[in-house]
């Protein structure tokens, strides 16, 4: 489980913070596309899959800092 402390530790690392921001931006853009009136159902399904991949990536990235919290 990801804690606030692991997020703070991750954000202290410049490269990790940058990657987390990139993931958040991509997620936001996909979410906006998903709710668009012209977005076809097939594309919405693909967007949901892309967002899930972004979530997994974020969780993996933060998990490395969770290990530091446990130490």
pLDDT for res 71: 55
Q: Cβ of 48: how many Cβ atoms within 10 Å?
A: 12
pTM of this structure: 0.84
State the pLDDT at residue 35: 97
Tell me how far apart the alpha carbons of residues 54 and 33 are, in angstroms, rounded to a whole number. 15
Alpha helices, DSSP H only, in the chain? 4-12, 14-34, 41-70
Condensed to tens digits (0 to 9), the pLDDT of residues 1-53 reads 788 888 888 999 999 999 999 999 999 999 999 999 999 999 999 999 999 99
In this predicted structure, the answer to whether residue 58 has a pLDDT above a threshold of 60 is yes
pLDDT over 70 (residue 70): no
Q: What is the DSSP letter of 35?
A: T
């Amino acid at each position: 489980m990801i804690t606030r402390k692991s997020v703070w530790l991750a954000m202290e690392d410049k490269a990790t913070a940058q990657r987390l921001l990139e993931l958040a931006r991509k997620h936001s853009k996909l979410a906006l596309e998903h709710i668009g009136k012209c977005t076809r159902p097939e594309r919405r399904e693909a967007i949901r899959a892309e967002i899930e991949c972004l979530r997994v990536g974020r969780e993996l990235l933060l998990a490395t800092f969770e290990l530091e919290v446990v130490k």
